[in-house]
Structure 1
């Protein structure tokens, strides 16, 4: 199964490490299982009344709750499909996160980067540039092919595209590759990275407060609950949105959106075992195929509006340009 989530691991892993470290620093010295069971945090000694039983504590909770609600409401934005989502990081911060992830990835795969102007590099670059031009996204775009059997591709904020060579046989043709790259570029078009970074920032603060004022174990339990009820559903929603936007982008770039179904059918045939959709960051392949079927008429209209020639002539034309 195509793992389109590497970009998330690259951007969020460092954030999670800082959060985990923050928990250790915040809770160190405040909690010790070997203390007398009458010990209470911030209680001033043995047998003191716990903080949550005091009136000032609940005043603080109320003020924090109101402030958080106002902050959340004032940072709601509409995605390109009209979905309301919370974004509290600037495009500059998003690009900085992408730049950091780019340095890490280039360091990890520096010996596997396919040289520029080779046949495989030109092939991937040709498809990517057509979709970038159709998206009208600005950025310092770079395209890298990684010589690896992994069936994957991802795009970092700021315009850094990575395609693993193992994906190309599964993509089969330019339309198949365009389906994947348009999906990945659609994540940047919709600022899904900013959405995930914003959620991680708020949740890290919440976990820290729970660890300090309630119990570190409660913070860990809360992390598991929010992952199941918030993180995973939001990730699947972003993936679905990227599928929808990606069809429009590949159609505007004069690729055949109907080919997306064949690409995902090949993906489905290559899958061995996938976790239940409820526990997965991505929708099931079958549900993606069904959704794409419903979006194809709109995407075909987009392609017709772009006055595209037939696919054979289009591919031949761009091929002769040497992209």
Structure 2
């Protein structure tokens, strides 16, 4: 009984103590793994990835990726400084690379390490479409979504350990618990957690692209093109991402807000 109580106290203590503040929402978020550990790993993994893949250099597309990336990074720095987070990006080492791959994807590692695959460029279509993608990916990094997912995964593992300790000596109920806990924690916690991150990144990314001078309505058009590419997408509740139709609806509703935020920084015209 003492072991069970101690484990519960440990779990509660970890959640209460290991928190950080999302600078865009003001909400407290999980931070069991500190950025002092995450960023060096991210930088190393990014370097290894570049060394193992074909990086496109000295082309108009590669230059576009760098130009758009720099504008999104500048928008983030301006927004954060204006909202009381002037030193938030001090450990960032921004880098923007185009990689030759048919994969329709882009990502940003913690610390501002960005990759765009050539396979996504026909869908992004233009600078504004690319800004929507890069703004979204940068938003994941700025909101520390990777840190939160790692922290949530650790708590999920601790919960499984706690349940098995509580049911020690009862093999049948342990098996039932493990099956139910695995399914329940994934469908009820981890997948919605991931979908909420995607929605949050859509929202933050829209604001960043608007401050960077790009038409935020272009993000909805991008997702309409993405939707046309989808084949056999799983139901939303089984997916780590919201349905494209949901994203499009959300983005259209947020466009006026994104433009209003951009006007605070003197941006009144928006490039498509």
Category of TM-score, reference length = shorter chain: 0.7 to 0.9
User: CA contact under 8 A between 2:11 and 2:155: conserved in structure 1?
Assistant: no
Cα distance change, pair 245–311 in 1 and its aligned pair in 2 (3 A): closer
Pick aligned residue for 2:243 from 253, 278, 284: 284
Find the aligned partners of 1:102 and 1:261 in 2 and give their Cα distance.
30
**1:200 correspondence with 2:153:** yes
Query: 1:70 maps to what in 2?
Result: 13
With 299-308 and 236-245 compared, the bigger mean Cα shift is at 299-308
The Cα offsets for residues 130-164 of structure 1, whole Å up to 9 and x where unpaired, read as: 00111114411111111111110000112210001
Q: Report deviation, 1:220.
A: 5.6
Q: Report deviation, 1:289.
A: 1.0
- What SS does the corresponding residue of 1:239 show, helix, strand or coil? helix
Q: Within 5 Å, which residues of 2 pair with 1:145-294?
A: 145-210=98-163, 214=168, 217=175, 218-219=177-178, 221-294=180-253
Q: Report deviation, 1:195.
A: 0.5
The Cα offsets for residues 52-74 of structure 1, whole Å up to 9 and x where unpaired, read as: xxxxxx22111221232133123
Unaligned 5+ runs, structure 1: 1-57, 316-323
- What SS does the corresponding residue of 2:93 show, helix, strand or coil? coil
Find the aligned partners of 2:190 and 2:257 in 1 and give their Cα distance.
29
Query: 2:61 maps to what in 1?
Result: 120
- What SS does the corresponding residue of 2:97 show, helix, strand or coil? strand
User: CA contact under 8 A between 1:254 and 1:306: conserved in structure 2?
Assistant: no
Find the aligned partners of 1:308 and 1:187 in 2 and give their Cα distance.
24
Query: 1:53 maps to what in 2?
Result: none
Q: Report deviation, 1:117.
A: 2.5
The Cα offsets for residues 90-125 of structure 1, whole Å up to 9 and x where unpaired, read as: 111121331343245235x42x221x3222210111
Q: Which has the larger radius of gyration?
A: 1
- TM-score normalised over the length of structure 2: 0.85
Query: 2:83 maps to what in 1?
Result: none
- Cα RMSD of the aligned pairs, angstroms, is 2.2
